[in-house]
Copies of this chain bind each other. A is one copy, B any other.
Amino acid sequence: MPKLGMEPIRRRQLIQATMEAIDDVGLADATVVRIARRAGVSAGIISHYFGGKDGLLEATMRQILWDLGQAVAQRRNHLTSQSPRDHLRAIIDGNFDRSQVSQSVMKTWLAFWASSMHKHDLQRLQFVNDRRLFSNLCHQFRQCMSKQQARHCARGLAAMIDGLWLRGALAPEGLDVERTRHLAYDYLDKQLAQTTERAS
């Protein structure tokens, strides 16, 4: 039933269907026919709106990265305090936002992580996102320690976030947000405690 302005609607539907399909059968078996059927449209539409399957996959990864960026930005904007600790907690919270820990998003993310090692378009996206997280963390740590220490702490916390995230994605029982945040908070406090005690 063709109307005007279908493009944004179809794009959203197809991106959503892509994540669901990857959640369901994995990236390898997420064929255009399967994705299209899940979105309730025909296969040809994908080439029409995304130029091909690769375009759809890239658009899907962009969507996930954008959602993550939004989740973090929102938490940081609603901060009352401006302390590094609260800022860093906001970043942690954003990374484990409800929108980021659903099965379909986590599985899709991991699939893209793996394939980004051989597809340059995805690799670039993934790299930019990585730098953003590291840079954000580093900037906050920098307020209470040396540049060298801050980089060290940022690397550590970034690894912890990714690690918790990865294990959540792989765990059959899914990611326990409460417990996961608790572990990240603990580590953060340990990092901050160490530098304060040196300063004292």
Contacts and interface: CB of A to CB of B under 8 A. Distances in A.
A1 to B, nearest CB: 34
A159 B170 contact: no
Q: What DSSP secondary structure best describes chain A's contact surface?
A: helix
Interface in A22-45: 25-29
B158 A167 contact: yes
The CB with the most chain B CB atoms within 10 A, among A119, A130, A162, is that of A162
A98 interface: no
Nearest to A126: B170
A8 interface: no
Contacts of A13: none
Count class of interface residues, chain A: 35 or more
Stoichiometry, copies per complex: 2
Contacts of A161: 163
Nearest to A186: B156
Contact of A187 (B116, B130, B187): B187
Interface string A153-175: 00110111111111101101000
Interface stretch (A65-73, A77-85, A105-113): A105-113
A161 B159 CA distance: 8
Given A159-B183, A166-B162, A187-B187, A117 B26 contact: yes
Interface in A115-167: 115-119, 126-127, 130, 152, 155-156, 158-167
A117 to B, nearest CB: 6
